[in-house]
Chains A and B, each alone.
Chain A
Amino acid sequence: MAEAMDIDPPSSFNFPKIQINLSTRDTTLSIPLQPLRIPTNLKRYGLSTLVNHLLETSKPIPFDFLIDGKYLRTSIDEYLTQAGLSSEKPLDVEYVRSQLPPTYIGSFEQDDWISSVNISSPSPASTILTGSFNGTAQITSLSGEVLARTVPMHTQSVKSTTWISHPGQSTEASFLTAGLDRTINFWSYTPSEEPPSSQPLQISPTTSYISHKSTITSLSYSPSTSQFISSSADHTIALWSTNSTLLPTVTAPQSTAFTRKRRRTTTKPPSTIKKGPLAVITSHTAPVSQVIHSTDPTAAYSVSWDKSIITHDLITSQPVSTRTTQHPLLSITTLPSLNLLAAGSAARHITLHDPRESSRTVQTAVLRGHTNGVVSLVKSPENEYIFASGSHDGSVRIWDVRSVSSTTDGGDDGEGKSGGSLFVIKRESGSGKVFGVDWSRDVGLVSVGEDKKIQVNRGEGMADVTVMDQS
């Protein structure tokens, strides 16, 4: 403790001391419960040094401190003044690994708005799959080179993409695209081993999946069952399998009035196998905005403009439970370790829900900060409490589930708790909606949007933290 006292600045003698109880939810970082008396002029850095000292870490880990659901951004003294607390009562302080502010790494420009982004798993090198409003999908390397591009099979915008098999896992990588033209296309290609040539690889589709009557808004693939699900603006969710033999063969509907334009515009699109769905789920009464697989691959969650979150049993194609919120929902992601669902709404906020039957409340917390509809959510690859959201207001925000306080201000629809964002990432190009975000450990936070750019942000020093974890 004598050493701990050394970290105190000399002026601290003038400050009153406060007893704090340090705790953490991270079991790897726990310290024995012991009351500490510290001067109140300590800030985050001082406390972090203190915790590092107590943990006896070889390398200092940056920590952040949560007091009553709020990050400590001032000195303890100022916090006490603001919160109107006495310095005589012991203060419960939770310390968490510091989430470093993601700094701008770079951006890659494409020739049209980008609707979706998916990062492939790391080996040997991560690539970024993007779907564009011009009807194509691209695979971009981290250095910004276009590795492959789909042929214009989609007559209209691609709205959603997903990897089936990541490049590197097998010799053949495959992915799905879907969009405004109501079809899902299956693409597979063999990533070239040699350094990418100047001419990107042209990929042709192998299978088209036809069922939806309107824009397909999202795709979700479950590797364990080799099934994928799609949601559409025609209020339906369709269940498909990558194993084409399981699917019925259908004929594509044709427009009676064949137009010369359609013949003229492109070289004739390659003919594909047309397949129908395994099942169509019609539980929603409004356009379904996103569907995702649960950790259990036979369950899926879907959100819709009809304000509901429906849990589906994919085996029986029946809805299991319906949670109705107060606003049209646009996006969803799971926080599996916390048993939480985060749903982004058109009413500019993110709500946290407990999907389990046992939970009584419809929503557990409301996270506010966005100024437009939240259309994309992705959980952090490193921290189970952290997730990121992309919104039409042109920003990506990073949220911490722990940082919610039960303040009542402005909580008209939040049942109890509300919180604010940890970091805000603006578009480097200035403005434009964000349509998609993805987050991986080695690439960082990737967001795409109206500015036709793939923007990469990464928290500096993240690598250090990873090293710490592994050690």
Chain B
Amino acid sequence: MTTKATTRKRSRAEAEAEKPVLSSEDEFEIPEINGDEDSSDDSDFTAGDEDSDEEEEISSGAEDEEDEEDIDSDEIPSEDEVSPKENGATNGDASDDEEAAPIDNVKVVTGADGNPRYIYPEIEPVYDSDDTDAEETNTIGNIPLEYYENYPHVGYDINGKRIMRPAAGKALDTLLDSIELPKGWTGLVDKNSGAALNLTEEELEIVKKLQRSEITDEGFDPYPDMVEWFSSKVEQMPLSSAPEPKRRFVPSKHEQKRIMKIVKGIREGRILPHKPQAESSQEPEFYDIWADDAPPKPDHVMNIPAPKLPPPTHDESYNPPLEYLPNDKEKKEWEEQDPEDREKNYLPRTHKALRLVPGFNGFIGERFERCLDLYLAPRVRRNKLNIDPASLLPKLPSPDDLKPFPTTCATVYRGHEGRVRSVAADPTGVWVATGGDDGTVRVWEILTGRQVWKLKVSSDEAVDSVTWRPTTEGRILAAACGNEILLVVPPIFDFEEENQGKEILSAGYGYAANRQGKKEAPGTWSKPDAALEEEGVVVTITVRKTVKYIAWHRRGDYLVTVSPEDVRRAVCVHRVSTHLSQTPFKEKSVTKGIPQRVQFHPSKPLLFVATKRYIKIYDLAKAELSKTLKPGARWISSIDIHPQGDNLIVGSYDKRLLWHDLDLSTKPYRTLRYHDKGIRAVSFHRGGFPLFCSSSDDGTVQVFHGRIYSDLMENALIVPLKVLKGHKITAHLGVLDVDWHPKQPWLFSAGADGTARLWN
């Protein structure tokens, strides 16, 4: 069987050798197919081998081949003996094989897959030309050197002289070895000692490494074996046990998007899937180089046509008017100029006729310059937005349209010694009350500026706050001086009104008498001493710490006071009709932070407490905190509530005036930073004018238009109107308090310079 197979193979190999058209690629494929055929052949011949599977057959095939080789080598003994053995070992050293089988012209080796491989000899080129350019170095002729083995020379030259044998390495080495050198000799002299500088082996090693620009460290391996952390091999214990990401098995959304884009384009007809090729490509394209303008290109963003050259002028004419012709001086000047500096690259010349005009010798250069210009000049379509800066400003109405508002100082109320701390216009709009550092409360006639009443409350403590009871009947003025709150009926009113006010205030004495046994209240109501009573003071309320601010409830029965120094009872509510004081917040933690200002809501049972950072709105009916506003100010100085109750302004010592819309959010709707120093007081007009103002330590009062709309969709309109300057800054304090006239667009301000002012 084996012999049959070999013969068949050989014959086939011969046939293949006769037609060497097969490319090298096919070489590997052929044996596989053949192998299959072989196996089928085998099965044909050996019925007993049918049970064996394919692999076995192949292996048996390989064994057969080895046998074949042996047979071959046996068959052809003239062949080089080494080559078949090498063949078997090296498994396909092609060149050797070819040399080994020159007669057969083919050699069979066992391939990597175990199948026989046919290796063909290399075609030897035959150079028929003589080798003249080969340099001849041997001058001793074609005589073997062995002949001169025992002689010092190796031959003779053309003159018959001996050609001496070149010095062999051995002789040099022996010479060098004969010279004794101390170990580590360098031939250098130590600069310090004068002795010979010897280097140890380690040092020499370092020097060598340095010369090789290697790292001198002992044991440093610059080429460590690479650890293949990430390889194609699936490890038993993978580095990361993360499950395969979803994207590996979920269809790509991006691709889907792109596909859908194309699908959409097809549906809309933008993309034609089977568009017939344009036939124009078949025709050659011509370009009309004589056309005046380049053919119009399709409109495209990146297509920027070159700017046109200016049309020729008079001096470019072949026969320009005389005034365009240069005179000698101009000609000379032009010629002397550097070509780069010349305004024009030609001199106007005159010719008798157009046909006499010579060619322009600078034409090529000029075209080249033009091309350079077009090529090098960056031409970019710049999408410049042409915005009128004025249009970016909010459209605010002109202050002239928002009249009336206070513009000038009409009256100066002089009399206070020291700062005027507080100012309040009475509800009838005829009087204005002020309180100051000199411990006095004064009432003034508004327009004339005449002081009509004065009450010396204290000699050492300032009157920090004065405020009128906001009702039409009973003119009562509340003034805070130290830790006392005085409720006064100034004797400037009609007797009826005066008596009414006194009755209102005295009515609570009965209640106070009934309440003797109760434990300590935050405020003590008492009759003033005779001197004060004579002046019109009806009741004094004494609290524990200095009262800084008083605010009335709109009905005039309650008033709320703030004494920031009192930690536990900073906010006190006093009821006039029962002479009762109470603290709405039992614990300090309820308010958290030092209260600065308090204010009743103008219509709802809400109490606004401004601490240093926040404004807390308490629902008095439900006795709970209903909202906390965060104006973002560092230290709130004052607040005021819009008479309609939905808006709030906050002044802060960090120069900001903040407008809160209670319907919008806890953050301010608008921040107004117009003051140079901290804001001391803010105030809304309550008499129907959409005005509000802020006063600051920079000595100014700023008036704003603040219109709110009944339409809930529309936000408030705030327009700065006027800066009122007049108060002098005294000891870094400017305007300490402001108040509006109840009906007119007039403004009162209390200054640290000892004056109060009326602005209209």
Chain A interfacial positions (CB closer than 8 Å to B): 113, 115, 133, 156-157, 180, 182, 213-215, 233-234, 253-257, 259-261, 286-287, 305, 326-328, 330, 346-348, 371-373, 375, 392, 412, 433, 435, 450
Contact = CB atoms under 8 A, between A and B. Distances in A.
B448 interface: yes
B507 to A, nearest CB: 13
A182 B494 contact: yes
B499 A255 contact: yes
A392 B495 contact: no
Closest 7 CB pairs of A and B: A253-B495, A213-B494, A259-B534, A255-B495, A233-B430, A256-B499, A261-B534
A331 to B, nearest CB: 11
A115 B430 CA distance: 17
A293 to B, nearest CB: 24
Given A214-B428, A257-B502, A156 B452 contact: yes
Contact of A305 (B494, B496, B533, B743): B743
Contacts of A257: 498-499, 502, 533
A412 B400 contact: yes
Nearest to B744: A328
A305 B744 contact: yes
Contacts of B497: 213
B445 interface: yes
A234 B496 CA distance: 13
Most A-side CB within 10 Å, residue of B400, B447, B499, B744: B447
Contacts of A113: 448, 450
B223 to A, nearest CB: 93
A373 B448 CA distance: 10
Nearest to A305: B744
Contacts of A182: 494
B492 A156 contact: yes
Interface residues of B, number: 32
A233 B502 CA distance: 22
Contacts, number: 82
A214 B743 CA distance: 17
Given A287-B429, A372-B408, A373-B410, A256 B502 contact: yes
A347 B744 CA distance: 11
A392 B408 contact: no
Contacts of A133: 450
Interface in B501-543: 502, 533-535
A156 B593 CA distance: 48
B450 A253 contact: no
B198 interface: no
Most B-side CB within 10 Å, residue of A115, A326, A347, A375: A347
B625 to A, nearest CB: 41
Interface string B361-405: 000000000000000000000000000000000000000100110
B452 A157 contact: yes
Given A330-B447, A347-B760, A373-B410, 17 more contacts: A156-B492, A255-B495, A255-B498, A287-B430, A326-B404, A328-B744, A346-B410, A346-B744, A346-B746, A372-B408, A392-B411, A392-B447, A392-B448, A433-B411, A433-B448, A450-B448, A450-B449
B758 to A, nearest CB: 10
B491 interface: yes
A256 B495 CA distance: 8
Nearest to B411: A392
A285 to B, nearest CB: 9
A214 B452 contact: no
A255 B404 CA distance: 40
Contacts of B452: 156-157, 180
Contacts of B429: 286-287, 305
B760 A180 contact: no
A260 B404 contact: no
A330 B746 CA distance: 14
A373 B760 contact: yes
Contacts of A213: 494, 496-497
A346 B495 contact: no
Interface in B463-508: 491-499, 502
B452 to A, nearest CB: 6
Nearest to B502: A257
A286 B499 CA distance: 23
A436 to B, nearest CB: 11
B181 to A, nearest CB: 116
A213 B499 CA distance: 13
A286 B400 contact: no
A431 to B, nearest CB: 10
Contacts of A347: 404, 760
